[in-house]
Amino acid sequence: MDIKILHIDSNHPLLWEQLEQAGFINHEDFTSSKEEIEAKIQDYQGIVIRSRFKIDKTLLDKATNLQFIARVGAGLESIDCDYALSKNIQLIAAPEGNRNAVAEHTLGMILSLFNNLNQADREIKSGQWNREKNRGHELNGKTVGIIGYGNMGKSFAKKLRGFEVEVLCCDIQENVGDENARQVSLEELQQKTDVLSLHIPWTPETDKMVNADFINAFAKPFWIINTSRGKNIITADLVEAMQTGKVLGAGLDVLEYEKLSFETLFTHKETPVAFRYLLKAKNVILSPHIAGWTFESHERLAQVIVDKIKAIWV
């Protein structure tokens, strides 16, 4: 085939091994700058990425022989997708690879919030034994609203079976509801939801979607879980809603302040006021963009990418 693939991020070894076995020629470059990659990208028919830097118009114009971009992850927001497609470059992602991990992490955040597990653990380790203060809530009987009912949303809804909850879903696509969730309008979801879980990509339509108006449209105080993308929520508006009691608690695996690479938190040195509140709030659980970052998903993501590449070119 003589298809050369440039890997610019490290991944599970099986990705390299199976592509090599299938006849592809692998090269790696995990350290060069974007400009250095641009200088040699014309030599490659494929590129495998995670999120080290943006695959933008400048890079794509230099990638004169590129046939595909494979991202070992769920989303494609680090790629100028429209421009890539206009150049007949195929885009490959692997949301199937970490959907189970995201679903389990989401459920874990809810149960931890409801039962004050993080707070109770810290208190006992500091010598405090506070039973009444840490009285919890049960998920049973609640209504869980899922916004975004693709791979991640569907996997999470499946995990909720057995908890005796009502599960509603809202999505821009029609007729995506199934035996695990009833599809409703955003308005109905906001009327009935006790726990909101976001499973949406970061797009112009979802950017800053969860703002003050969005939050205030909910009929009841609610908990919110975000394992999607940080910039889908305006953190300052979320904090204000928590201070008024409109939002009862938050589980945030992603933050508005993350860099696109997901590898570091802040793009500036000063800690935002809203984030300082989250750091101290007892009804907040934070994790560093790891919902889909398990040992199992590391392997599964790579396998999905290999299978998709081979399905097209082998």
pLDDT of residue 61: 97
pLDDT in tens, 94-104: 999 999 999 99
pLDDT of residue 261: 63
pLDDT in tens, 181-194: 999 999 999 999 99
Closest CA relative to residue 67, chosen from 84, 51, 54, 49: 84
Which amino acid, 248? L
**Average pLDDT for 49-60:** 93
Q: What is the mean pLDDT of the chain?
A: 95
Q: Which of residues 260 and 89 earns the better pLDDT score? A: 89
**Average pLDDT for 230-248:** 98
pLDDT in tens, 164-182: 999 999 999 999 999 999 9
- Give every CB contact of residue 141 below 8 A, 6+ residues apart in sequence: 164, 165
**Average pLDDT for 44-67:** 95
CA distance 300 to 291: 14
pLDDT of residue 271: 84
Confidence check: pLDDT of 263 > 70: no
Q: Model confidence at 51, in pLDDT bands (50, 70, 90)?
A: confident
CA distance 19 to 123: 50
Q: Model confidence at 210, in pLDDT bands (50, 70, 90)?
A: very high
Q: Model confidence at 313, in pLDDT bands (50, 70, 90)?
A: confident
Q: Model confidence at 58, in pLDDT bands (50, 70, 90)?
A: very high
pTM score, two decimals?
Answer: 0.93
Terminal Cα-to-Cα distance of the chain (whole angstroms): 9
Q: Please give the angle made by the CA atoms of 313, 311 and 38, to the nearest 5 degrees.
A: 50
Confidence check: pLDDT of 81 > 70: yes
Portion of the chain with pLDDT greater than 70, in percent: 96
Confidence check: pLDDT of 259 > 90: no
Provide the CB-side half-sphere exposure for 217 (13 A, CA). Answer: 13
pLDDT of residue 31: 95
Portion of the chain with pLDDT greater than 90, in percent: 91
pLDDT in tens, 265-285: 665 677 889 999 999 999 999
**Average pLDDT for 252-270:** 77
Helix (H/G/I), strand (E/B), else coil: 309: helix
pLDDT of residue 267: 59
Confidence check: pLDDT of 1 > 90: no
CA distance 140 to 193: 13
